[in-house]
């Protein structure tokens, strides 16, 4: 095979390989809209992270790659979207306080304890937004210990998957 023909075949193969995963602008936007809906409908995301910020970051990431083939969680992780998009401190604190009031063991001054934990949790969350359920659980436990909890308390763990 002559060298010129080999180069043409290689170029065609590379072009089709890249084109096979390329998405049209309409396909990219449909995926962005599905992402936005998944974020808004998630049990915890809207209270812990800014879904509008996440969606815009996701849109930018998809435009950069031109593909919808990667899993959402990989795009969110690789572009550090969770770290860039925490919700407002008051929203995060309200989420924690409600979770604490509903799920933590009753104790004297329960409301004050949960408010203290909410403030500690929201402050730590905004300072370094967690990127996993484990990190969120650790922040919750640290906040509760700061406010006087002696042992781990049974709190639900948020689902942060965007499938």
For the stretch 102-146, pLDDT in tens is 887 777 788 899 999 999 999 999 999 999 889 999 999 999 999
67 three-class SS: strand
Q: What does pLDDT average to over the chain? A: 81
Contact 121, 48 (CB under 8 A): no
Over the stretch 38-71, which tens digit does the pLDDT of each residue have? 999 998 889 999 999 999 999 999 999 888 888 8
Q: What is the pTM of this model?
A: 0.76
């Amino acid at each position: 095979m002559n060298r010129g023909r080999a180069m043409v075949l290689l170029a065609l193969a590379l072009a089709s390989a890249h084109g096979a995963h390329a998405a049209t602008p309409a396909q990219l936007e449909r995926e962005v809209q599905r992402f936005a809906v998944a974020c808004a409908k998630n049990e915890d995301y809207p209270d812990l992270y800014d879904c509008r910020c996440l969606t815009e970051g996701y849109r930018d990431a998809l435009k950069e790659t031109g593909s919808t083939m990667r899993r959402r969680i990989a795009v969110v992780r690789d572009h550090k979207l969770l770290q860039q998009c925490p919700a407002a401190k008051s929203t995060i604190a309200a989420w924690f306080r409600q979770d604490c009031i509903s799920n933590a063991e009753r104790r004297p001054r329960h409301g004050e304890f949960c408010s203290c934990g909410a403030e500690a949790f929201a402050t730590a969350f905004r300072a370094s937004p967690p990127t996993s359920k484990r990190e969120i659980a650790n922040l919750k436990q640290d906040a509760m210990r700061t406010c006087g909890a002696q042992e781990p308390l049974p709190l639900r763990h948020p689902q942060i998957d965007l499938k």
